[in-house]
Structure 1
Amino acid sequence: MSLIDLAAVSFAYGRGRKVLDGVDLSIEAGRNLGIVGESGSGKTTILRLLLGLAQPTSGKVTFRGAPLDPRNRPFMRGFRRSVQAVFQDPYSSLDPRQKIADIVAEPLRSLNVETDIDAAVAGALASVDLPPDAAGRYPHEFSGGQRQRIAIARAIVSEPELVLADEVVSALDLTTRIRIVELLKSLSARTTLALVSHDIGFVALLCQDLVILEKGRIVEQGTARDILSSPKHPYTQRLLASTPRLPEFA
């Protein structure tokens, strides 16, 4: 079952050059998708389109077959309940003036979700291996990896069907990256993930499907196993040549 589809999507800022050109992709429920490309490939623009933060210059973006239209407020409320995001920088994505309980509860309050907010926050924090007393503390009291866990807790507290993550480990050290990968792997048992990254090795650990972007075009897509074992496009081959070989696909 398809959650979000991009059909022949192109995007340009003003009258400038196209950032995306004829992109087709689908995010299927229960199948994690990795969107991989170097800086300037268009992957952040795709993320903005998937979140409804931008509209394509041409083509269509649909959620469960219906147009993703930011002007349709009732539709977007349901969309925001179903789709949440985790952003790259764990230091700037959390309001330093708010306690962790309020940060994590923000989607529940903004979406008017009828639930026991304290219990939901406690459950979300437990899901990302943070202690109950974290709720009463402030972001500056936590490390970068812990802050990224808090951001993930905020994303999953409303029990979304899909979590979009933008370079979610790039600002973290290697040991912390491994912990976040393990966390995301456990979370993917109950929600679909779409990971935007320049690191093909990272997304291949978590995603069944891959999309490879170069200069705003999809140059290769398919299962992670097929792409890593037998990349067809020279750009994909170059990406893999610069990445340590993963044992699962050796």
Structure 2
Amino acid sequence: MTLLDLSGVSFGYAKGKTVLHGIDLAVAAGDNLGIVGESGSGKTTLLKLLLGLERVSTGTIAFRGTALDTTERTFMRGFRRSVQAVFQDPYSSLDPRQRVFDIIAEPLRSLKIETDIAAAVAQALRDVDLPADAAQRYPHEFSGGQRQRIAIARAIVANPDLIIADEVVSALDLTTRTRIIDLLRTLSARTTFIVVSHDIALVALLCERLVVLEKGRIVEQGATRDILARPAHPYTQKLLAGTPRMPKRA
């Protein structure tokens, strides 16, 4: 089943200043996708389009075969339940005034999902290997890696079909990065991921497919293992040559 389809998508923040050019890609259920590129390549803009935070200038984005219409409230409520995000900085993405319970429960409440909220939050904490008593504490009481686990718990609590992770480990130390990637790999057994990053080696640990962006254009896409083994585009070769590698897991 295809979750997201992008066809001929272009976008510009101002007339005559196009940021993305003719993007074509599809995201299938169970097929994790990595989107990589340097700063200024268009990754953040593409992420905003995928989340419905911006509207395309030309082309179409479809979710499960239906055009993504940010003005249609009923559709967008279903879309928000099905598509969640985890952002880069675990220090700024969590409200310091809220207890962890309320942070994780927020999607259930805002989307008016009828469920046992206490049970759902407790399950989400278990899924990210945090203790039950974490629910009554505040973000400042946790390390960076633990905060990112809280952010991931918030993303999975509504059982979405797709999670978009934006530079999800770039603010963390190397050991914590590896643990978070292992967690995402475990969660990907039930949820599809789009991982946006500048680091091809990191994305390769989780994603079966890869898209390489340069200056708002896809210059290479395909199976991750094929691109790593035989990068065809000079820009991809440059990224591979300059990106620190994550350690291999036994």
Partner of 1:76: 76
Q: CA deviation at 1:38?
A: 0.3
Q: CA deviation at 1:3?
A: 0.3
Partner of 2:198: 198
Could you tell me how far apart the structure 2 residues matched to 1:24 and 1:223 are? 16
Is 1:112 matched with 2:112? Answer: yes
Q: What is the 5 A alignment of 1:233-244?
A: 233-244=233-244
Could you tell me how far apart the structure 2 residues matched to 1:49 and 1:157 are? 23
Q: CA deviation at 1:17?
A: 1.7
Q: 1:160 to 1:173 in 2, by over 3 A?
A: same
Deviations 1:28-80 (A, max 9, x none): 10000000000000011111000000001111011011111110000001111
Q: Which amino acid aligns with 2:34?
A: G
Could you tell me how far apart the structure 2 residues matched to 1:115 and 1:36 are? 36
- Which runs of no fewer than 5 residues in structure 2 stay unpaired? none
Partner of 2:101: 101
Could you tell me how far apart the structure 2 residues matched to 1:197 and 1:5 are? 20
Q: CA deviation at 1:247?
A: 8.4
- TM superposition score normalised by structure 2: 0.97
Q: Which amino acid aligns with 1:42?
A: G
Q: What is the 5 A alignment of 1:165-176?
A: 165-176=165-176
CA contact (8 A) 2:210 2:222 kept: yes
Q: Which amino acid aligns with 2:67?
A: P
Partner of 2:88: 88
CA contact (8 A) 2:20 2:42 kept: yes
Aligned length: 248
Could you tell me how far apart the structure 1 residues matched to 2:107 and 2:196 are? 22
Partner of 2:20: 20
Could you tell me how far apart the structure 1 residues matched to 2:21 and 2:143 are? 39
Could you tell me how far apart the structure 2 residues matched to 1:120 and 1:25 are? 33
Secondary structure of the structure 2 residue equivalent to 1:186 = helix
Could you tell me how far apart the structure 1 residues matched to 2:215 and 2:73 are? 33
Could you tell me how far apart the structure 2 residues matched to 1:154 and 1:101 are? 9
Q: CA deviation at 1:243?
A: 3.0
Q: Which amino acid aligns with 2:61?
A: V
Partner of 1:46: 46
Could you tell me how far apart the structure 1 residues matched to 2:173 and 2:247 are? 21
Q: CA deviation at 1:18?
A: 1.0
Partner of 1:130: 130
Partner of 1:57: 57
Q: Which amino acid aligns with 2:126?
A: A
Deviations 1:106-127 (A, max 9, x none): 0001111111100000000110
Secondary structure of the structure 2 residue equivalent to 1:13 = strand
Could you tell me how far apart the structure 2 residues matched to 1:138 and 1:200 are? 34
Secondary structure of the structure 1 residue equivalent to 2:106 = helix
Deviations 1:77-101 (A, max 9, x none): 1111100000011011001110000
Q: Which amino acid aligns with 2:243?
A: T
Could you tell me how far apart the structure 1 residues matched to 2:221 and 2:119 are? 41
Could you tell me how far apart the structure 1 residues matched to 2:244 and 2:225 are? 15
Secondary structure of the structure 1 residue equivalent to 2:14 = coil
CA contact (8 A) 2:202 2:245 kept: no
Q: Which amino acid aligns with 2:59?
A: G
Could you tell me how far apart the structure 1 residues matched to 2:35 and 2:91 are? 23
Q: CA deviation at 1:244?
A: 4.8
Q: Which amino acid aligns with 1:158?
A: A
Q: CA deviation at 1:6?
A: 1.1
Deviations 1:140-199 (A, max 9, x none): 101111000000000000000000000000000001101101100000000000000000
Partner of 2:152: 152
Secondary structure of the structure 1 residue equivalent to 2:10 = strand
Could you tell me how far apart the structure 1 residues matched to 2:246 and 2:190 are? 25
Could you tell me how far apart the structure 2 residues matched to 1:64 and 1:134 are? 36
Q: 1:129 to 1:247 in 2, by over 3 A?
A: closer
Is 1:66 matched with 2:66? Answer: yes
Secondary structure of the structure 2 residue equivalent to 1:206 = coil
Q: 1:53 to 1:225 in 2, by over 3 A?
A: same
Secondary structure of the structure 1 residue equivalent to 2:159 = coil
Q: 1:196 to 1:20 in 2, by over 3 A?
A: same
Could you tell me how far apart the structure 2 residues matched to 1:136 and 1:244 are? 38
